Amino acid sequence: MEAREIEAGTQILIGAPARPMPSAQAAAIAAVLAKVPGVVEAHLPQVYAPGAIDEPAQVLVVVLRPGADADATLDAINCDLARLLTEDSRLDIFPVAGDSGMLRDVRAVGCQILGGKRDARPWWKFWGG
């Protein structure tokens, strides 16, 4: 896992993965993240960002608790995930703010693995009780 910054203004396309990682691996990642105090929510969408992520890839999007030390939290995540991932696998981590427009788009694709508010009712049943 390496740190990469995406320049402001870069177009980022977010969707459900065409070939998602095995559910057992996603569950193991969620279990690790649940033990990191600064993480409140996590998702595993597929992301494509021309010039930054040239091949669509499944990434880990994490929402950090307001006031959390971002560097320390990301270091803890990297350390813990290193034990789960094989040497030839890669999982980029995107920390986002809870009020980010990107987070709204990430939530919309339905790849949440940890935290956040989820409603089990289908969208068409939100109105009328």
pLDDT digits (tens, 9 = 90+) for 81-117: 988 887 777 888 989 888 888 899 999 999 999 996 5
Q: With 50 as the cut, is the pLDDT of residue 129 above it?
A: no
CA-CA distance, 3 to 77, in Å (whole number)?
Answer: 12
String of DSSP letters for the chain: -----PPTT---EEE--SSPPPHHHHHHHHHHHHTSTTEEEEE--EEEETTTEEEEEE-EEEEEPTT--HHHHHHHHHHHHHTTS-TT----EEEE-TT-HHHHHHHHTT-EEEES----S-GGGSTT-
Residue 38, phi then psi, degrees to nearest 5:
-80, -5
Q: What is the structure's pLDDT at 117?
A: 57
Overall average pLDDT of the 12-17 stretch:
93
Q: What is the structure's pLDDT at 120?
A: 47
Q: With 50 as the cut, is the pLDDT of residue 40 above it?
A: yes
Q: Where are the domains of the chain?
A: 13-115
Residue 115, phi then psi, degrees to nearest 5:
65, -165
CATH assignment, 13-115 = 3.30.70.1350
CA-CA distance, 106 to 123, in Å (whole number)?
Answer: 16
What is the model's pTM? 0.83
Q: What is the structure's pLDDT at 2?
A: 52
